[in-house]
Amino acid sequence: MASRFDWIQKELKNLNKNGLYNHIRTLDSPQGAWLVVDGKKVLNFCSNNYLGLANHPRLVEAAQKALGQYGVGPGAVRTIAGTMEIHHQLEKRVAAFKHSPAAISFQSGFTANLATIPALVGKEDVIFSDELNHASIIDGCRLSGARVLRYNHCDPLHLEQVIKENEDNYRRALIVTDGVFSMDGDIAPLDRLYEIAEGYDILLMVDDAHGEGVLGKGGRGIVDHFNLHGKVDIEVGTFSKAFGVVGGVVSGNADIVEWLTQRGRPFLFSSAVTPPDVAACIAAIDLLEESTELVDKLWSNGAYFKQELNTLGFDTGKSQTPITPVMLGEAQLAQDFSRLLFERGIFATSIGYPTVPQGKARIRVMISAAHSTADLDKGLEGFKAVGKELGVI
């Protein structure tokens, strides 16, 4: 008998048939260079744990201490039950770390975007958005009700053309871009975007989720990388990637940060991250302020792995960061590649449509400071063997 869920079954079968179904592995270990997945020890090339902080003893200890001091939960949203001192501390520390006027924390990078974009622009406004922006930016743009005008990926000349075509046709405007594009590892030309934003008096927002803890001096992010301190209006960050914890943050212009305490809906209608999370984030900032060692290791690991893959004959796209895409084309090939790697004890997920365009499926290798050279060599051996087996190299 037909049921009202039949369409779901049909859609799921289609995903499976097209190699687009997300097969989610279950971990029996903390995050690190190695994982226990479905009972098997495998080399981890999947996580955004760039600096190996997700299970770092200093972060774990800070979280445990905060548990004792503040308990497990924040009680309610900050505007209603009051905000814990530790959340203020985190915000002050982030602002100082990034040499930014002010900062406000959120539950995640995703909610930081959903909070910020609709608070700044609405129906009478326009958003100039890089065509490859992250889903959370796209959703934030949709929620705002503003007219969204996409410009070609990382193309300031095209951005300027689109702005000119629409000049005098809006109340306010916002330029928004990812900092590091997560699927390709390329970096937004933020210096050029800043000049354009200044020239046309447009708000400028960068989502630096993959640049936080990676780019700039000691991981201070994309604004530091381009030396644009105090010039970029809004810098969104996440604590879930290089920082190894969870949570989001907006730093930048102090008026905007204050406005978000009044009009950022996820701030007003959703509780803050837990005190242990916040304490762990602060411990991560401590580590990054003490030494650039982890960030340096991340970059040297990334450079080594990419260079060796290229020598083997793989196409690693246009990455400028430790994110290493291995371009394969068809989604089915990428899935087969990932499965054969896994059989060899290497966990590297394939990524296909709709996360990347059709025909641009790939394995995305996420390099971490936690990897040793021996780990990277084991990975390269696996890529070589599977690449030959499938006729990629």
Ligand X SMILES: *Cc1c(COP(=O)(O)O)cnc(C)c1O
| Nearest to ligand X of 363, 376 (CB atom) | 363
| Minimal CB distance residue for ligand X | 109
DSSP states along 125-151: -EEEEETT--HHHHHHHHHHTPEEEEE
Q: How far is the CB of 180 from ligand X (least distance, A)?
A: 8
How far is CA 322 from its chain centroid?
13
Using the minimum distance from each CB to ligand X, give the nearer residue, 209 or 294.
209
Q: Tell me which residue of 337, 327, 310, 393 sits closest to 364, measured CA to CA.
A: 327
Residues contributing to the site for ligand X (CB under 6 A): 108-110, 134, 136, 178, 182, 207, 209-210, 238, 240, 248
The identity of residue 207, as a single letter, is: D
Output 200 or 353, the one with its CB closest to ligand X: 353
Residues carrying an active site annotation = 182, 210, 241
For ligand X, the closer of residues 89 and 355 by Cβ is: 355
* Least distance (Å) between residue 163 CB and ligand X: 22
| Cα 42 from Cα 25, distance rounded (Å) | 12
| Strands in the chain per DSSP E | 34-37, 40-44, 102-106, 126-130, 147-151, 173-178, 203-207, 234-238, 248-252, 323-329, 346-347, 350-351, 361-366
Taking the C-alpha atoms of residue 236 and residue 80, their distance in angstroms, rounded to an integer, is: 24
Which CB sits closer to ligand X, 86 or 245? Answer: 245
Residues 136 and 132: their CA atoms lie apart, in Å, by 11
- For β-strands 248-252 and 234-238, DSSP reports them as antiparallel
Q: Is residue 305 classed exposed, middle or buried when 0-12, 13-18 and 19+ CB atoms within 10 A define those classes?
A: buried
